A and B are shown apart, each in its own frame.
Chain A
Amino acid sequence: MKHKLHLDRAHLLEQLKQMLRIRRFEEKCAELYAQEKIRGFLHLYIGEEAIAVGIMSTLSAKDNIVATYREHGHALARGLPMKGILAEMYGRTNGCSRGRGGSMHLFDKSHHFYGGNAIVGGGLPLAVGLAMANKRQGKQALTVCFFGEGAVAEGEFHEAMNLAVLWQLPVLFICENNRYAMGTALALSESETNIAKKASSYGMTAVQVDGMNVVDIEAASLTAVEHIRQTNKPYFLECQSYRFRGHSSFDGQLYRDKAEVKLWQEKGPVIRLITWLKENNGLEDEELNNIENEIKHEIQAAITFAEQGPWEPISDLVKDVYSPTATSDNTNNVTNLSQGNQS
């Protein structure tokens, strides 16, 4: 079943803008990383923007999102303010996880954004559990779980697929197949490289979609979301994509040819939509420049916000390990324990 898309010019420009926001943000993050403003691991989403943008544009504010450690794009597309995301990567208390998470652990409860999970496959059962809670409480929301094709080799993938279908839970599984689990190509890690086929063997609808085409993704997601809302059953989308940058900030990319990267870059989601809009919708350079300028300002404001963010005092080191409890006795015990029984 094909769905009517908002293929009007304004909507497509909005999708382009959202993808460009992610692209430019990630490029800036790479720069800030080189300047040592951002530390730790940094996993960039460049090349895969169409997936997060296409999917998120079909969701409601109450739907849950579970993402991976390559989640800056998902957070931005979900509507988390850019400044809170960047401040998180700076480790400041005005970050979206109060600075405790970093790049791999972006959280925002008000946006139903449940991370930022950095154990490959670990987010899958979590998402199925969130879906179970929604179903049990009669909430209409669905849960969207993003993961890479690397997670498909994990036991938790099998366990989560089985449980979601067995118990008919409202989850949308989005496999972002960017062809490499770190440096290991799909063919070297899967006996069945057609991931949608593998997923369909659990007894749910599973579809492959061009992960470089935001319109295709939005269409596929609309179908999926409607299916889940009507049936309360899970649905699986495999988005075939490519990451243009290395796995993380420490990747020499010895495992793939530069020619291969170039080939994929030529059919990248941003350039593709720009070309299409220019050819079919009369997109002017000035319009594009305006979008770029707007994004530039947003990024600059985010940097200012992050750089002005306060550091958490070391006296708060063990904060948020446990919830505050009613009895002060318990709190003291826990505090003592967290500090290594120094009292």
Chain B
Amino acid sequence: MSAQVLTYREALRSGIEQALVDDERVFLMGEDVGRYGGCYGVSKGLFEHYGELRIIDTPLCESGFVGLGIGAALGGMRPIIEVMTVNFSLLAMDQIVNSAATLRHMSGGQLNVPLVIRMACGAGLQLGAQHSHSWENLYAHIPGLKVLSPATYTDARHMITQALADPDPVIIFEHVMLLNTRGEVLEKSEASMEKALVRQQGSDVSLITYGGSLGKALAAAKQLQAVNISAEVVDLRCLRPLDNKAIIESVTKTHRAIIIDEAWLTGSLAGEISAIIMEQAFWHLDAPVKRICTAEVPIPYPSHLEQAALPQVEQIVSAAQAIMVAR
């Protein structure tokens, strides 16, 4: 019996804890990660076990403590920085984009920044327009960064290990709607962190997605099976670098692609992936690529409006049915 059943939150915590045990250079730093147990409870209990030198509560100063993390990484430590939400990370974006992502290049390869930054993202908790966004694409745009989106319990558990082993800055996005859900955690990661994985084999249409939308894509694939449409579900896992090969392999097999991405449509990763398909698999397509993204509105507070803004299973199902009409 190799699999353990954990919540996504427990899987994240277990990964962090393993890192603390394995490498004394590792510390966790962020707002309320210690005594409070983490805004989303991810680090609960770690402070009591590992103490204030390894689980470090910071003042509210995203740019300051992310910058400190970069400096500490340059100085030989292996910091894990928690930024409460992607929305707050914009206050640290200067340090992430102008320092962490550039130092290796600007120094002609003399320096590197082995830093892991974790942040919560995603809508669904009715947290309104300043706590709910999916801005993975902002960071996926930046050369010098690597961007991970663990969508499964196994990835929640193991991606932190892979990220810490990487010599360059890695950002991990943790979708808030996954935290309380529960599932199997394998003993080892199924692939290197930069590989996309096919979560469900299919032959008619590729549902390409990541993070909080993976569950929706899998649910849609199940419904589609009932109407005789075989959907393949590709979990991107890593948003920079994108696993172009896996995307193209799937589309070459199914000849149709729907991209499900919780970001706003305009300027989304869905647009990037669509362009990759156009450039590299255009002649394999039997139908135009379809994107299902969040409506172009700051995330509204009322539940019915919030849900209406987000990609939903029904949309994926209808899009797949529409795309198959030409069959």
Contacts and interface: CB of A to CB of B under 8 A. Distances in A.
Contact of B94 (A119, A131, A137): A119
A256 interface: no
Given A114-B74, A133-B77, A160-B67, A107 B61 contact: no
A139 to B, nearest CB: 8
A108 interface: yes
Interface in A81-104: 95-101
A119 B144 CA distance: 17
Nearest to A137: B76
Nearest to B240: A337
Interface centre among B68, B76, B110, B245 (most CB of A within 10 A): B68
A97 B103 CA distance: 10
Contacts of B144: 321-322
16 contacts: A97-B106, A100-B107, A107-B108, A115-B107, A124-B67, A125-B68, A125-B95, A128-B68, A129-B72, A130-B74, A132-B75, A136-B72, A137-B75, A156-B67, A163-B64, A341-B279
Contact of A126 (B70, B166, B192): B70
B59 A162 contact: yes
Interface string A142-166: 0000000000000110111011001
Contacts of B192: 327, 329-330
Contacts of A130: 71-72, 74-75
Contact of B99 (A64, A117, A136, A341): A117
Interface residues of A, number: 56
A189 interface: no
Nearest to B60: A159
Contacts of A327: 192
Contacts of A131: 71, 75
Contact of B244 (A101, A137, A333): A333
A269 B265 CA distance: 59
Interface in B105-156: 105-112, 143-144, 146
A6 B243 CA distance: 61
B59 A107 contact: no
A286 interface: no
B74 A129 contact: yes
Contacts of B27: 136
A166 B59 contact: yes
Interface of A: 64, 95-101, 105, 107-109, 114-117, 119, 122, 124-134, 136-137, 155-156, 158-160, 162-163, 166, 318-323, 325, 327, 329-330, 333-334, 336-338, 341, 343
A166 B70 CA distance: 18
Interface residues of B, number: 53
Interface of B: 27, 53, 58-59, 61, 63-77, 94-95, 98-99, 103-112, 143-144, 146, 166-168, 192, 194-195, 240-245, 275-276, 279-280
Given A126-B71, A159-B67, 8 more contacts: A95-B108, A105-B107, A114-B74, A136-B53, A137-B75, A160-B64, A322-B144, A338-B143
A204 B76 CA distance: 26
A100 B71 contact: no
B64 A100 contact: no
Contacts of B72: 129-130, 132-133, 136
A322 B61 contact: no
A322 B104 contact: yes
B109 A341 contact: no
Contacts of B112: 323
Given A129-B74, A133-B75, A166-B59, A336 B108 contact: no
B235 to A, nearest CB: 16
B108 A129 contact: no
A156 B112 CA distance: 22
A341 to B, nearest CB: 6
A323 B68 CA distance: 21
A114 B66 CA distance: 17
Contacts of A343: 244
A333 B243 contact: yes
Contacts of B73: 129, 133
Given A162-B59, A163-B59, A133 B109 contact: no
Contacts of A99: 108
Nearest to B98: A119
A285 to B, nearest CB: 42
Nearest to B110: A109
A320 B104 contact: yes
